[in-house]
Amino acid sequence: MREKETITATANYSKRTFTIRRYYNGKLFAKYRTLPMTMKEFEEYDMCTEGDWKDFLKGQDYYAVKINY
């Protein structure tokens, strides 16, 4: 069976951050949080797709909240 990765992002409008969750085969693998953003950045990221978030995780503008191995 091939492993499937999915990514979801939940917005926190008051703090202008996103919580990004990575799942493997439906089980939570890792949770990250973005650094606070400007209003313009936040509005742009609010439209991101799963692929956009995968690319975002290649950068350094976030920190790990929880990682399950």
Up-side HSE of residue 69: CA atoms within 13 Å toward CB? Answer: 0
Which three-class secondary structure state does DSSP give residue 55?
A: helix
50 CB contacts (<8 Å, ≥6 apart)? 6, 7, 8
| pTM of the predicted protein model | 0.89
For 27, the enclosing helix (H) or strand (E) is strand 27-34
Chain centre to alpha carbon of residue 3: 19
How many domains, in total, are found in the chain?
1
pLDDT top residue among 13 and 67: 13
Q: In the prediction, which pLDDT does 1 show? A: 62
Domain encompassing residue 18: 5-67
pLDDT(3) > 80: no
Q: In the prediction, which pLDDT does 2 show? A: 76
pLDDT (tens digit per residue) in 9-62: 999 999 999 999 999 999 999 999 999 999 999 999 999 999 999 999 999 999
